[in-house]
A and B are shown apart, each in its own frame.
Chain A
Amino acid sequence: DVKVTQSSRYLVKRTGEKVFLECVQDMDHENMFWYRQDPGLGLRLIYFSYDVKMKEKGDIPEGYSVSREKKERFSLILESASTNQTSMYLCASSLALATNEKLFFGSGTQLSVL
């Protein structure tokens, strides 16, 4: 089975800190995604990557950046954390970008920015 591992389950940071969220997948998937999950809003796509060193903005990229130096690892970076970035962050991967392709999700990182 595909495993998508997020480095932290819970994280507490201060406003203005630089925050790194790490995600690793073990199935050689081409595509990786970062979503944030908020009550009543569902999942919203922040960024995705379809190849090493490639990235594309999703629906809500403001305040975030990403890094994909190796195929298995996709990092989400909050350059200067703000309280409105308190959320559950979910990483996902898939074999292809076809519209009917299944996503595999990590178990999430609950980030609190104080």
Chain B
Amino acid sequence: GDSVTQMEGPVTLSEEAFLTINCTYTATGYPSLFWYVQYPGEGLQLLLKATKADDKGSNKGFEATYRKETTSFHLEKGSVQVSDSAVYFCALGSARQLTFGSGTQLTVLP
């Protein structure tokens, strides 16, 4: 079945550091790929998405490119801020539901 494997955390960075959170997937067909973010005490929010191969999703300085050849959708940001501290989930959309990765806790220190 479909699955998402996400880089294990926690990840701790200093402010303005470069961020990469790895995500790879296994799926049949042509899924859509998503990154959701969960800030402390809140539900998940969509951060960005890509619906086909080579698409790049971007939002709030975050980017991820749908790589079919490597079945990956890695999340990147060039310069993180303290306010980016949250849990990040990679997700795959296929058939009628989303399949989520296990989440990566990011802490950014001032």
Contacts and interface: CB of A to CB of B under 8 A. Distances in A.
Q: Answer yes or no: do A and B interact.
A: yes
Interface of A: 4, 33, 35, 40-45, 48, 50, 56, 58, 90, 92, 97, 99-103, 105-108
Contacts of A50: 96
Interface core residue of A44, A45, A99, A108 (most chain B CB under 10 Å): A99
A45 B51 contact: no
A42 B102 contact: yes
A48 B43 contact: no
Contacts, number: 53
Given A100-B49, A102-B46, A103-B44, A43 B94 contact: no
B36 to A, nearest CB: 8
Contact of B89 (A33, A43, A101): A43
Contact of A107 (B41, B49, B103): B41
Interface of B: 4, 6, 31-32, 36, 41-46, 49, 51, 89, 93-98, 100-103
B83 to A, nearest CB: 18
B93 A106 contact: no
22 contacts: A4-B43, A33-B97, A40-B102, A42-B6, A42-B101, A42-B102, A43-B100, A45-B98, A92-B43, A92-B44, A97-B96, A99-B32, A99-B51, A99-B94, A99-B95, A100-B93, A101-B93, A103-B36, A103-B46, A103-B98, A106-B43, A107-B43
